Amino acid sequence: MFDKILIANRGEIACRVIKTARRMGIKTVAVYSEADAGALHVEMADEAVAIGPAPSAQSYLVADRIVEACLKTGAQAVHPGYGFLSEKAEFCEKLKKAGITFIGPDVHAIGAMGDKIESKKLAKAAGVSTVPGYLGVIKDEAEAASIAREIGYPVMIKASAGGGGKGMRVAWNDAEARDGFRSASNEARSSFADDRVFIEKYIQEPRHIEIQVLADTHGNCVYLGERECSIQRRHQKVIEEAPSPFLDPQTRKAMGEQAVALAKAVQYRSAGTVEFIVGPDKSFYFLEMNTRLQVEHPVTEEVTGLDLVELMIRVAAGERLPFGQEDVKLNGWSIEARVYAEDPTRNFLPAIGRVTRYRPPAEGKRADGSRVRVDTGVYEGGEISMYYDPMIAKLITWGPDRATATRAMGEALDGFVIRGAGHNISFLAALMGLERFGEGRLSTNLIAEEFPDGFHGITPEADTLRRLLAVALMAERRVAERDAMISGQATGQLRRSLEGWVARTGGVNHPGSVMPVDGGADVRLDDRTMAVRTGWELGDLLWTGTVDGVPMTVQIERKGTRWVLFHGGAELSVQVLTPRAGDLAALMPVKLPPDMSKFLLSPMPGLLVSVVVAEGEEVKAGQELAVVEAMKMENILRAESDGRVKKVHAAKGASLAVDEKIIEFE
* Residues acting as catalytic residues: 288
In order of 296, 299, 327, 554, 626, the CA distances from 372 in angstroms are 15, 11, 25, 18, 43
Instruction: For residue 638, list its beta bridge partners.
Output: 624
Contact assessment for residue 351 and residue 308, using Cβ atoms and an 8 Å cutoff: no
- CB 103, CB 31: distance < 8 Å: no
Residues facing residue 566 across a β-bridge: 555, 571
Residue 431, SS3 per DSSP: helix
Residues 604, 166: Cα–Cα separation, whole Å: 17
Phi-psi region of 548 (alpha: psi -120 to 50; beta: other; left: phi over 0): left
Q: Between vectors from CA 528 to CA 525 and to CA 529, what angle results, nearest 5°?
A: 85
Which bin fits 165, alpha (ψ -120 to 50), beta or left (φ > 0)? left
End-to-end CA distance of the chain: 69
Report the alpha-carbon distance of residue 110 to residue 87 in Å, rounded.
6
Task: Give the distance between the most distant pair of CA atoms in the chain.
Answer: 90
The dihedral through the CA atoms of 112, 114, 115, 119 has a sign that is: positive
Sheet of strand 101-102, all strands in order from the earlier edge strand to the far edge: 47-50, 27-32, 4-7, 77-79, 101-102
- The sign one gets for the Cα dihedral 146, 147, 148, 151 is positive
Q: What CA–CA distance (Å, rounded) separates 433 from 445?
A: 17
Q: What are the φ and ψ backbone dihedral angles of 185, each rounded to 5 degrees?
A: -65, -45
The three state secondary structure string of 244-303 is CCCCCHHHHHHHHHHHHHHHHHCCCCEEEEEEEEECCCCCEEEEEEECCCCCCHHHHHHH
Kindly list the distances between the CA atom of residue 2 and the CA atoms of 31, 415, 499, in Å, as whole numbers in the listed order. Answer: 18, 39, 70
Task: Look at residue 528 and give its three-state secondary structure.
Answer: strand
Cα–Cα distance measured from residue 410 to residue 553, given in angstroms and rounded to the nearest whole number: 10
Q: Is the dihedral of CA 122, 127, 129, 133 positive or negative?
A: positive
Q: Is 126 exposed, middle or buried (0-12, 13-18, 19+ CB in 10 A)?
A: middle
**CA distances from residue 120 to 59, 126, 319 in whole angstroms, order as listed:** 31, 10, 30
